[in-house]
Amino acid sequence: MMNLSLFILISLLSAAAFADTTMICRMGDIADMDIRVESLEGRNERLTVTVYSMDGESKTSYTNSSFDNSSLSQSLTAGHLDALVSVSDLQDTFGGAYLEAGRLVMKHNKSEDRYDVQFAAKDVIFTASCR
């Protein structure tokens, strides 16, 4: 019983480590990107991917606020995340399709302690290294 309690405590602490975190991503010269994980009411979480254009003036934010039971933090702690995000927080759909949506795939690179990221939106696939 003690081992189970210790495991649960460690799991909760690991998941909490990602709450209210912003990861800065290096992408080369096409754009800049930040990934933000936020705690909401209860054990709900929000994921926001913000892509900044190189002109320094425009940005687009894609959001998904539908992570419950700390599932976003748990996925990141496990080392892999595959999530949909959209400009409308996955609220607006047209004929069953999300409008202005993107797909974020993150895999933890243990040897370099970073996340290797692919983010697809607006007919472009961005690749990045995020910490």
Domain extents in the chain: 21-90+100-130
The contacts of residue 49 (CB under 8 Å, 6+ apart) are: 33, 34, 35, 36, 61, 62, 63, 85, 102, 104, 119
Q: How many alpha carbons lie under 13 Å from residue 115 in its C-beta half-sphere?
A: 25
**Cα 103 to Cα 107: distance, rounded to the nearest angstrom:** 13
User: Which run of H or E residues covers position 121?
Assistant: strand 114-121
What's the CA angle centered on 99, arms 25 and 79, to 5 degrees?
35
- What are the pLDDT digits (tens) for 17-35? 567 999 999 887 788 999 9
Q: Which pLDDT belongs to residue 21?
A: 94
- What are the pLDDT digits (tens) for 65-99? 999 999 999 999 999 999 999 999 999 888 888 98
pTM (predicted TM-score): 0.85
